[in-house]
Amino acid sequence: MEWVNYHHLLYFWLVAREGSLARASAELHLAQSTVSKQLHQFEEGLGHVLFIKSGRRLVLTDSGQVAFRYAEEIFGLGREMLDTLRSRAVGKPLRVTVGIADAVPKLVAERVLGPILALPQPVRLICREDTPDRLLASLALHELDVILTDAPANPNVKVKAFNHLLGESEIGFFGHPNLVSRFQPGFPASLEGAPMLLPTEDTVLRRAIEQWLASVGVRPNIVGEFEDNALLKVFGTRGAGVFPASLAIAEEVEAQYAVKFIGKVPGVCERLYAVTIERRLQHPIVVAICETARSDVFGAKERSTHPSSSSRSSGQT
């Protein structure tokens, strides 16, 4: 088995970063001739020329740019490892940066992430919200530890990422009490012409709901479309229309937005994925996030005992 000489890789990385042998040698506290010799050995071992001269500077070749990207990732992970271990050793907060896709309900994100702040190990949680594709780009640059999203990573985005399904929840419709009295009887036929608030058309949930509405032959009046799930629910609080929400957080939705359950949407589920650049989860806080989601948020016990997904929805089609 062939192994990379990591001393040579370090010398190469510093020369590439500094753009000259002189500056890299000064940082390494080595003679320029020593660093130059090690670089030649590294190039010979790889079978590629990594630098060409441009005036007084050394410029990376195409092969050198490829090697530099890998070196950046390797030494970046090394720094991350030291930071993590040192933080544990002195009791400093363990930092975790989570990207949250804008389609993920805020209450679901809080249910998943909230418990990690109560762990024995001090944690510093950093949340960033954006579109899935932009979050994937940040993940590739190691600016995020994990992404929470409602759909697997887009295969058209050239990022090597792994999807970890955390769970799924049935969907129900909710509304202001005044709307519940109108639309709960005879559900789902009662939704014909009903004012409805939905996520935007580019979301997985929107497409699934529209397919279900078509299958039951119901045409509601879509009065609002929202990228921000929380804003959608605020409009629902004001009675602007009925809206869908995960039954895994039904009690929280009813309490926070002063709405009531109307009916369940059979066959339509909302899923949550953790997306990482590692196949096997290693960051201890990311592992804790995934375990919490699977056991406490989307666990079988949680779904089967919730009144919105059992007694109150029985008999509805």
pLDDT, one tens digit per residue, over 291-301 is 888 888 887 44
Q: Domain range for residue 70?
A: 6-88
Instruction: Mark which of 65, 88, 111 sits at the end of a domain.
Output: 88
pLDDT of residue 148: 95
Both 155 and 233 in a single domain? yes
The token duo for 37 is 């010799």
pLDDT of residue 302: 39
Whether 275 shows a pLDDT value over 90: the answer reads yes
Distance CA 271, CA 169 (A): 6
CATH code of the domain in which 101 resides: 3.40.190.290
Residue 6, C-beta contacts closer than 8 angstroms, at least 6 positions apart: none
As to burial, measured by CB atoms within 10 angstroms (0-12 exposed, 13-18 middle, 19+ buried), residue 31 is: exposed
Both 78 and 198 in a single domain? no
pLDDT of residue 317: 28
User: Are 150 and 273 spatial neighbours (Cβ–Cβ below 8 Å)?
Assistant: yes
In a domain, 145, yes or no: yes
Both 61 and 98 in a single domain? no
Average pLDDT (115-137) is 88
Whether 149 shows a pLDDT value over 90: the answer reads yes
Distance CA 124, CA 94 (A): 6
Instruction: Tell me whether strands 51-54 and 57-60 are parallel, antiparallel or unpaired.
Output: antiparallel
Both 218 and 289 in a single domain? yes
pLDDT of residue 284: 84
Instruction: Mark which of 69, 88, 107 sits at the end of a domain.
Output: 88
pLDDT of residue 55: 80
Range with the poorest average pLDDT among 78-82, 94-98, 130-134, 208-212: 78-82
In a domain, 190, yes or no: yes
In a domain, 1, yes or no: no
pLDDT of residue 307: 40
Angle at 83 between CA 79 and CA 88, to 5 degrees: 150
In a domain, 253, yes or no: yes
Both 61 and 100 in a single domain? no
Average pLDDT (208-224) is 96
Distance CA 162, CA 274 (A): 8
Both 131 and 263 in a single domain? yes
What confidence category does residue 195 fall into, taking pLDDT thresholds of 50, 70 and 90? very high
Both 82 and 99 in a single domain? no
pLDDT of residue 261: 96
Choice between 218 and 137, residue whose per-residue pLDDT is larger: 218
In a domain, 101, yes or no: yes
Whether 87 shows a pLDDT value over 60: the answer reads no
pLDDT of residue 89: 53
In a domain, 11, yes or no: yes
Q: Angle between the 229-237 and 250-257 helix axes, to the nearest 10 degrees?
A: 60
Average pLDDT (169-192) is 95
Both 45 and 163 in a single domain? no
Both 170 and 231 in a single domain? yes
CATH code of the domain in which 72 resides: 1.10.10.10
Give 144-191 as a DSSP string: -SEEEESSPPPTTS----EEEEEEEEEEEEEE-HHHHHHHSTTTTGGG
Q: What is the pLDDT of residues 12-30, one digit of tens each?
A: 999 988 888 888 888 888 8
Distance CA 155, CA 96 (A): 25
Residue 63, C-beta contacts closer than 8 angstroms, at least 6 positions apart: 46, 48, 49, 50
Both 110 and 83 in a single domain? no
Q: Give me the phi and psi of 278, to 5 degrees please.
A: -120, 140
Both 103 and 80 in a single domain? no
Range with the poorest average pLDDT among 57-61, 84-88, 183-187: 84-88
Instruction: Mark which of 66, 88, 110 sits at the end of a domain.
Output: 88
DSSP code of 315?
T
Tally of domains within the chain: 2
Average pLDDT (70-84) is 78
Q: What is the pLDDT of residues 251-274, one digit of tens each?
A: 999 999 999 999 999 999 999 999
pLDDT of residue 166: 92
Average pLDDT (210-223) is 96
Whether 90 shows a pLDDT value over 70: the answer reads no
- Average pLDDT over the chain reads 85
Both 60 and 206 in a single domain? no
